[in-house]
Structure 1
Amino acid sequence: MGRLSFPSPLPGRGSTPVGSGCHHVVVKSSRAAPLMPILALSFLATFGTAVLWNGLAFIAKEAYGFDEAWNLGLAIWNGTVYAVAAFGSGRMLRAMSGRIRPRTVVALAFLLQVLICPLVLLGDSTILLFMVAGSMSGLAAFFWPVIEAYVAAGRDPHRMRSAIGVWNATWMTALGLALVAIAPFLAAGHAIWAIGALGPINLACLAILLIGVPPEPAPHDDVHADHQAPSHYRELLASHRAMLPLAYALIGALSPLMPYLLSDLEAPLAWQTPLTATWMFARVAGITLLRFIPWWHGRWSTALLGAVLLAGGFCAVLIAPSVPLIVAALVVFGLGQAVVYYTALYYVMRVDRADVDAASTHEGLIGVGYAAGPAAAAAGVMLGGGGLVVASSLALPAIATLPALRPWLRSRRR
């Protein structure tokens, strides 16, 4: 098989040098993976993400009687498993590159998920819920890094930015729709079936993968002077790598608390997951805007905007005294998520050349955030709840401030 689209300074076989003014362009015979099957696959697979991350607290509260502490513990477990698996997925795929293709690894992950999902229907065991959720999270860590490489690899910067934008809007829309789709299960008293329903969805993902997706991502080592990432992108990437775990830490802290925040505001059960999805649809709007307006490239002000929207929206959600105000706060939070996620993924794919290792690091940092956020919120809950949850969660932005600022200070000295 060869390599998993890892960069090389030399043209690959089948390349044709072409004169182009003062630059030397290498035109590859390989093509980027078709986007439509990847979009369809990502749309369906995101239903699993919605159930096991953003909707799991609602399911556990209604089906298992979990309180805030138990739900935060479940979120910490899921985040830890995902982070460990994601950080290791790139190395494992590299080690297996001569024997198994990335698409085969993803296919096995989907097949195992098909078999694991129905296990929650066997009983109301808390241990079983933890094992199923952890297994599904670990397997997902082998899916998303590979798909991110398929999306970006083999595309020039303009096409890469466009592809990332369409892909982000697709799976983020699916995330919101999936959370809305959980509502009938909750209202009918069959919350656990939201997890069981992921079996057929993963089976459909497997079919799309095998029919429409090539065995491995395209090489991403085309040589073109105009396509090399500007030098200051490395500092921007370093800063966003500090902000990305923060963004997901705040999601991780907020998601397990949303059922209780909305219940305290007397929001009807059937409306709780659709209301929570507000920030997800706001994120889609932000992603769409960033896709069509490229002014944010290379600007530190964009990073600052994302950080302010994130932290401000998060705090406002936790202290909102009414449903309309919590919805407004969720919109602000979602826009901050859009800025941080989209820019972080763009810079990692530009600088690290769109390989699976780069994407696995990106996903591993997301997992770190998913574990750290609930841990910080849990500390506040154990100390007495209320404002202490806000205070303990705000330790996360404080911790991320120096790593995010250091690259900016370094770039200012140049």
Structure 2
Amino acid sequence: YFFTQAKFGFASQKNLVLAATIGFVYIFASVFGGRFGQRQGYFSALRVGLSIMAVALLVGLFVENVVAHVIVLLVYTSGTCFTWPALEALVSENESPLRLQQRVGVYNLVWAGTGALAYFSGGAMIERFGLKVLFSVPLAVHVVELSLIQWLEPKTNSRASPVEPPRVAPAVLAEIPLNPRPIARVKTFLRMAWLSNPLAYIAINTVIPTIPALAKQLELSPKFAGFFCSAWLFARTVAFLLLWLWPGWHYRFRWLAGAYLAMLACFTLMLAASDLRLLVTAQIFFGAAIGLIYYSSLYYSMDVGGAKGEHGGIHEAAIGVGNFIGPALGAAALHFFPEQRNSGTWTVCGLLLLGFFALVAVRSRSRVRV
């Protein structure tokens, strides 16, 4: 979004429209990508996704007009929808509850940590090497990843098979007593996580497209905007580490509800902040809350049973719903109430509050049934 602001003069409203468009594509592409990996194999899905992403970035290096760049971005987004469900399935396929907790924890640390470092350093790299670095560096990374697949596939072929029967002994299931039964309760937490995660991404993808405008308001250069506005990403990574090491949050409603309320409060503070210290502090708690909500969605998706690829696709599609609704609401509010600078913030806050009531309703209804 710093790229579209710098190259095409996009203000918050146009960046929000772009984010909503990306989210809309992500919804359907994720479901397709998850099913593709489930049926054709996870490594096949990775090859397709990384190839699409690499080609899109290569084209992006040479195009100049806004329409071409939007198309490149949408094609790139479609490619990512083949990779995320496949990676999530590879991490969790045929694992016991104990191993699942460990593997999902490492997976979350890797992607969140690298994402935080990329955002932290992105502004400085733009200032040093120019806007084209946003295409050339990821392109090089994807080429390396495609090469790694050729080396990794033979070593993990048995784990990659979507149809291999489970190899977990019944005794292993007792290793984590926090994994509840009956299955009805497990599915209730899965529904709550699938509800709260897209709502969390509504908040995330309302914040991210408006960060360039917020940085301008606080008189931050792209370099320092990357430094200060990546605080929530590092906080999310630390949260992933703690949640990995301590499984006591599993299937505990108060943790999910508390994280959701913290996310809502910090979202409001971040977009209304006029002080850099308040912005960074709110980001830290926002990132921690987002970390628990995301971890819940992914962990419960993988813990509930078979069809890991399709469950990963649904998990990612739920993220796409949030990626679409949040920016779309924010852009619509700015369009219809342009004189109210914070109209988008309050509109999304209202939706997030309704989402909390829906979360409580799902919990209450399940308790009545059980």
TM-score between both structures, scaled by the size of structure 2: 0.90
Report whether the alignment pairs 1:67 with 2:11: yes
Alignment of 1:193-208 (within 5 A): 193-208=133-148
Alignment of 1:10-409 (within 5 A): 57-94=1-38, 97=39, 100-188=40-128, 190-213=130-153, 214-215=156-157, 216-217=160-161, 219=164, 221=166, 222=168, 224=170, 227=173, 230-231=181-182, 232-353=185-306, 355-382=308-335, 383-384=337-338, 385-409=340-364
The residue identity in structure 1 corresponding to 2:27 is A
Q: Any conservation in 1 of the 2:48–2:82 contact (CA below 8 Å)?
A: no
Compare 120-129 and 276-285 and name the one that shifted more.
120-129
Q: Any conservation in 2 of the 1:120–1:196 contact (CA below 8 Å)?
A: no
CA gap of 1:236–1:174, structure 2 versus 1, over 3 A, is: same
The residue identity in structure 2 corresponding to 1:125 is N
Q: Deviations over 1:241-261 (max 9, x none)?
A: 110100111111110001111
How much has 1:229 moved relative to structure 2?
5.3
Q: Deviations over 1:146-181 (max 9, x none)?
A: 110011112110110011111101110000111122
Compare 381-390 and 159-168 and name the one that shifted more.
381-390
How much has 1:294 moved relative to structure 2?
1.6
How much has 1:373 moved relative to structure 2?
1.1
Number of aligned residue pairs: 354
Distance 1:87 1:127 in 2: 26
CA gap of 1:345–1:101, structure 2 versus 1, over 3 A, is: closer
Compare 262-271 and 402-411 and name the one that shifted more.
402-411
Q: Which runs of 4+ in 1 moved over 6 A?
A: none
How much has 1:336 moved relative to structure 2?
0.7
Distance 1:269 1:178 in 2: 13
Q: Deviations over 1:69-95 (max 9, x none)?
A: 21111111111111110022233345x
The residue identity in structure 1 corresponding to 2:170 is H
Q: SS in structure 2 opposite 1:141?
A: helix
How much has 1:189 moved relative to structure 2?
7.0
Q: Any conservation in 2 of the 1:348–1:354 contact (CA below 8 Å)?
A: no
Match for residue 176 of structure 2?
none
CA RMSD in angstroms comes to 1.9
Higher fraction of helix: 2
How much has 1:217 moved relative to structure 2?
4.2
Q: Any conservation in 1 of the 2:33–2:45 contact (CA below 8 Å)?
A: no
Q: SS in structure 2 opposite 1:394?
A: helix
Distance 1:295 1:102 in 2: 31
TM-score between both structures, scaled by the size of structure 1: 0.81
The residue identity in structure 2 corresponding to 1:76 is A
Distance 1:84 1:405 in 2: 28
Q: Any conservation in 2 of the 1:279–1:335 contact (CA below 8 Å)?
A: yes
Q: SS in structure 1 opposite 2:82?
A: coil
Q: SS in structure 2 opposite 1:124?
A: coil
CA gap of 1:352–1:154, structure 2 versus 1, over 3 A, is: closer
5+ residue gaps in structure 2? Answer: 174-178
Q: Any conservation in 2 of the 1:173–1:284 contact (CA below 8 Å)?
A: yes
The residue identity in structure 2 corresponding to 1:338 is G
The alignment-based identity, stated in percent, is 23
Distance 1:148 1:93 in 2: 11
How much has 1:333 moved relative to structure 2?
0.7
Distance 1:253 1:220 in 2: 42
How much has 1:197 moved relative to structure 2?
2.5
Q: Any conservation in 2 of the 1:233–1:351 contact (CA below 8 Å)?
A: yes
Distance 2:52 2:187 in 1: 38
The residue identity in structure 2 corresponding to 1:263 is K
5+ residue gaps in structure 1? Answer: 1-56
How much has 1:116 moved relative to structure 2?
1.8
Distance 2:243 2:165 in 1: 24
Q: SS in structure 1 opposite 2:331?
A: helix
Distance 2:242 2:165 in 1: 26
